[in-house]
């Protein structure tokens, strides 16, 4: 990567991190103080936690398309301003409906698709996978940091102060964008990062991809539903002081990451992705069953949290990779767009359903339903195809005719390690599936006009 590509990738990852911190920091703490808001019920507590997912799901693809027309930075700045306004609304609220409105506005500032498109504008095709990996790592780090930072900071500044802080972080994201992210010389549509509405039917007809879309919906449904009641379990059932919750989350996440690493490495080295994927779903199911039966015993609660976060982190890392492996290369952007929509809908449903279950049937019912969803997910995923160890690779071919595109496709398929190739003449891009362990990189580089 060039210095410009590295700077842009790190800066855009930082913007993602700042926004995700704002969304997730209230997860481990909101249920503890929700009773302080006028008109609160358990269902509305869950809605306040998860409502961002609904607005994010509705607006993320349209905002990405809008950025094609008016510019990436305008959409990103607008989205972060909306996010900051939503944070201010939530911080100023004295009723639960005010918090719900603020969280909905936070989700309305849906900049994910525009940020990814800007990343694509600022990186060469051959280097884009690295840039997306940097952003993916930043999202995972933001989630882990939010689980610890929320409980650690809240005793110092209170819940309204935490909402004000998320607004400040959104404004800081604007500063990062304007000061450190270059303006692209040209805005182009990128099939590997942006959704094409005309391709929706083709993606939705793919049962392999639908399994993964359902999986990410269930994963985030369980996550959001669990956090409606888990802070209460830690305080009221397991006996942990509220000020010590951040220590519990930190310990659990460190243990989960230690267990996650060998699972991911084993899956990658031995192409056992499906097996590790299914084991991770089992870990989720076991954790929910344990929390259902033993949420009054502190060490069993901690053990179940470790199992849960181990399974969650493996699945959160594996699902986007599986989408990339199973989706046709030229449809990857659309497949990821639908996948992200399912993810945010899962967060919304988790908050709403989790709050309703807790209010009507108690804490145990949330874990029982989440455990049942894990079993359903396991059954559906058991027939999933084990994907080949292939990665997406892009080549910038420059201007090519339709006839030349056909010739290039045949030539690319003859390169060692290239399993599939599609050349789109209007894009001047070759969309490849490659086995990186066998790939003849020098032969492939000869086709690229950038020689990256």
Q: Are residues 154 and 278 in the same domain?
A: no
C-beta of residue 12 within 8 angstroms of C-beta of residue 119: yes
Q: Are residues 399 and 302 in the same domain?
A: no
Whether residue 450 lies inside any domain: the answer is no
Q: Are residues 13 and 47 in the same domain?
A: yes
Q: Are residues 368 and 409 in the same domain?
A: no
C-beta of residue 38 within 8 angstroms of C-beta of residue 331: no
Q: Are residues 34 and 171 in the same domain?
A: yes
Q: Are residues 434 and 327 in the same domain?
A: no
pLDDT at 197: 84
pLDDT at 308: 96
C-beta of residue 276 within 8 angstroms of C-beta of residue 269: no
Whether residue 199 lies inside any domain: the answer is no
pLDDT at 28: 95
Condensed to tens digits (0 to 9), the pLDDT of residues 74-91 reads 999 999 999 999 999 999
State which residues form the domain around 435. Answer: 391-445
Whether residue 452 lies inside any domain: the answer is no
Strand order in the sheet with 429-434: 391-396, 429-434, 418-424
Final residue in a domain of this structure, among 194, 226, 248: 194
Alpha-carbon distances of 94 from 89, 90, 232, 347, rounded to whole Å: 10, 9, 21, 24
Q: Are residues 328 and 430 in the same domain?
A: no
Instruction: Label residue 398 left, alpha or beta by phi (over 0 means left) and psi (-120 to 50 means alpha).
Output: left
Chunk the chain into consecutive blocks of 10 residues (it has 452) and report each block's average pLDDT, rounded to whole numbers. Answer: 88 91 92 94 96 93 88 93 96 96 93 88 81 85 92 94 95 94 83 82 90 95 96 94 95 94 84 90 96 90 96 90 82 88 96 96 96 96 84 81 82 85 81 84 80 55
Share in percent of the chain as helix, strand, coil (round to 5): 75, 5, 20
C-beta of residue 143 within 8 angstroms of C-beta of residue 14: no
The rounded distance, in Å, linking the Cα atoms of 245 and 375 is 29
Whether residue 98 lies inside any domain: the answer is yes
- Model-level pTM? 0.92
Condensed to tens digits (0 to 9), the pLDDT of residues 338-386 reads 999 999 999 999 999 999 999 999 999 999 999 999 999 999 999 888 8
Final residue in a domain of this structure, among 140, 166, 194: 194
Name every residue whose Cβ is closer than 8 Å to that of residue 275 and which is 6 or more positions away in sequence.
267, 386
pLDDT at 451: 56
Whether residue 200 lies inside any domain: the answer is no
Q: Are residues 142 and 283 in the same domain?
A: no
Q: Are residues 135 and 9 in the same domain?
A: yes
Q: Are residues 14 and 147 in the same domain?
A: yes
Domain count, the chain: 3
Alpha-carbon distances of 124 from 4, 174, 398, 418, 423, rounded to whole Å: 11, 24, 12, 19, 17
Whether residue 158 lies inside any domain: the answer is yes
Q: Are residues 246 and 144 in the same domain?
A: no
Q: Are residues 382 and 397 in the same domain?
A: no
CATH of the domain at 368: 1.20.1250.20
CATH of the domain at 401: 3.30.70.100
C-beta of residue 294 within 8 angstroms of C-beta of residue 310: no
Final residue in a domain of this structure, among 161, 194, 227: 194
Whether residue 380 lies inside any domain: the answer is yes
């Amino acid at each position: 990567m060039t210095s410009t590509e590295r700077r842009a990738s790190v800066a855009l990852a930082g913007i993602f991190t700042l926004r995700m911190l704002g969304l997730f920091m209230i997860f481990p703490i909101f249920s503890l103080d929700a009773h302080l808001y006028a008109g609160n019920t358990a269902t509305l507590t869950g809605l306040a936690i998860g409502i961002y997912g609904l607005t994010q799901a509705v607006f993320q693809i349209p905002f990405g398309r809008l950025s094609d027309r008016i510019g990436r930075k305008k959409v990103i700045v607008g989205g972060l301003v909306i996010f900051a306004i939503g944070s201010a609304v939530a911080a100023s609220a004295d009723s639960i409906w005010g918090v719900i409105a603020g969280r909905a506005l936070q989700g309305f500032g849906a900049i994910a698709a525009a940020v990814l498109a800007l990343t694509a504008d600022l990186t060469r095709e051959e280097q884009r996978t690295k840039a997306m990996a940097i952003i993916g790592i930043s999202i995972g780090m933001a989630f882990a940091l939010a689980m610890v930072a929320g409980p650690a900071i809240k005793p110092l500044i209170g819940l309204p102060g935490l909402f004000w802080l998320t607004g400040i972080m959104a404004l800081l994201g604007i500063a990062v964008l304007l000061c450190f992210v270059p303006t692209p010389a040209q805005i182009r549509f990128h099939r590997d990062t942006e959704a094409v509405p005309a391709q929706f039917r083709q993606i939705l007809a793919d049962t392999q991809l639908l399994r993964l879309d359902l999986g990410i919906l269930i994963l985030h449904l369980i996550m959001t539903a669990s956090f409606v009641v888990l802070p209460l379990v830690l305080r009221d059932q397991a006996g942990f002081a509220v000020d010590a919750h951040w220590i519990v989350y930190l310990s659990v996440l460190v243990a989960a990451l230690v267990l996650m690493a060998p699972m991911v490495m084993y899956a990658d080295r031995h192409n056992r992705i499906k097996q590790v994927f299914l084991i991770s779903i089992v870990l989720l199911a076991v954790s929910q069953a344990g929390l259902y039966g033993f949420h009054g015993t502190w060490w069993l609660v901690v053990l179940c949290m470790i199992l849960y976060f181990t399974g969650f982190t493996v699945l959160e890392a594996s699902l986007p990779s599986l989408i990339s492996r199973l989706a046709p290369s030229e449809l990857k952007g659309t497949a990821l767009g639908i996948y992200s929509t399912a993810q945010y809908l899962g967060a919304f449903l988790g908050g709403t359903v989790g709050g309703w279950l807790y209010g009507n049937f108690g804490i145990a019912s949330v874990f029982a339903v989440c455990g049942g969803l894990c079993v359903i997910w396991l059954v559906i995923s058991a027939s999933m195809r084990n994907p080949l160890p292939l990665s997406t690779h892009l080549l910038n071919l420059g201007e090519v005719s339709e006839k030349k595109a056909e010739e290039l496709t045949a030539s690319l398929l003859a390169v060692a390690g290239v399993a599939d190739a599609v050349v789109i003449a209007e894009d001047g891009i070759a969309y490849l599936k490659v086995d990186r362990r066998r790939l003849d990189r020098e032969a492939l580089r000869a086709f690229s006009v950038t020689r990256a």
